[in-house]
Copies of this chain bind each other. A is one copy, B any other.
Amino acid sequence: MKRIGVLCSGGDAPGMNPNVRAVVRAGIEAGLEVWGIERGYSGLIKGALAPLGSHDVSGLINRGGTILRTARCAEFMHAEGRAQAAATLRARGIDGLVVCGGDGSFTGAQLIYREHGIPIAGTPGTIDDDLCGTDHTIGFHTAVTTAVEACDKIRDTADDHDRIFVVEVMGRRCGAIALETALAAGAEVVLLPERPGLGPRECAQRLRHAREQGKTSMLVIVAEGAGKGEAVTKVIADALPDAEVRCSVLGYMLRGGVPTVNDRILATVTGVDAVHALLERGAGCCHHIGVIANRVVRTPLSEVVGRPKIIEADLVALVDVTAGLRPWQSG
């Protein structure tokens, strides 16, 4: 292997830039040439790619976003698009590909591996934290940190005005962002797609009890997959007519910003190992590079794709314990 490519694909995530930096630096260290491909798979199809030197990635360790840009690419879902992409790689003499993305991107990566024999190393670049091959994904920690900082501010105004606030965060099928946000923001209730038994109605009941016991301001975190913030707010406001209930939707700001320490290190560790995996496994490499229990773990992509991670029931219970609502109920 003499030349490898690196691309970002799917929804963006803070930490993609340090991931690209790590791939380039580790590649050069290993004697490889590293090419950067623009806007995900569409850059392969359109031939938008160029070699990257060590200096080109200097200063990326603390930059949000990705200098390569990212995209969802409809053409790549068709065999024809993938054939064109493979042709580009062959034409440029690129022998292996690092794909930084999520479940959808890895589905495509698997196909180009199977159909055209392009060795693949996938790094977990998504804020959703929904990949089973790694404890956390690149971008997740920054997203949670941003959400918690917003909740800290919202808590101030909730306290000042004795209000209940419903805060909606990203997470369609996976409540990981909502759960860690709730725990770290000290929220009173969290609604998760994985916990259908606790919906807006049950939430309203908990809040009513807490108010009866004297709690005046409260925070509810809602993963978008568990209900839209506005809808949850309405249910609560209807159930507690004398409470002031407000809603805040933390949208796209969770996808940007300077990556946190965790995301920089995770991006660096997985980026470096992605290069090593390609070198060591060669033609047999179609693996996901994650970090599980502080160790780098290479998992066949086939065992990662389509198998979403399960969130920790223990952490869910902790929100309930530390919210301090239960003793009041029993009061």
Contacts and interface: CB of A to CB of B under 8 A. Distances in A.
Interface of A: 8, 12, 14, 16, 18, 21-22, 25-26, 28-29, 39, 54-55, 57-59, 61-62, 64-66, 69-71, 135, 141, 144-146, 148, 150, 152-157, 159-162, 165, 180, 183-186, 214, 246-258, 260-262, 264-265, 268-269, 272, 292-294, 296, 312, 314-315, 318, 321-324, 326-328
Complex copy number for this chain: 4
Contacts of A292: 293
Contacts of A69: 159-162
A213 to B, nearest CB: 9
B257 A160 contact: no
A101 to B, nearest CB: 12
Nearest to A60: B186
Given A55-B324, A296-B314, 20 more contacts: A8-B160, A12-B157, A18-B186, A22-B322, A29-B321, A29-B324, A29-B326, A61-B186, A62-B185, A64-B156, A65-B160, A70-B161, A148-B264, A153-B257, A160-B255, A183-B265, A184-B264, A247-B251, A250-B253, A269-B315
Contacts of A293: 292-294
Closest 4 CB pairs of A and B: A156-B256, A293-B293, A153-B256, A61-B186
B157 A261 contact: no
A198 to B, nearest CB: 17
Contact of A327 (B54, B150, B155, B250): B54
Contacts of A28: 324, 327
A279 B315 CA distance: 20
10 contacts: A16-B160, A25-B324, A59-B159, A141-B261, A152-B256, A183-B264, A183-B265, A249-B249, A260-B260, A272-B321
Contacts of A156: 12, 14, 64-65, 255-257
A25 B321 contact: yes
Contacts of A16: 160
Nearest to A63: B156
Nearest to A54: B324
B145 A272 contact: no
Contacts of A26: 321-322
Given A61-B186, A64-B156, A269-B318, A253 B261 contact: no
B324 A154 contact: no
A224 to B, nearest CB: 14
B180 A272 contact: no
Contacts of A269: 315, 318
A12 B155 CA distance: 12
A295 to B, nearest CB: 9
Given A28-B324, A29-B326, A152 B62 contact: yes
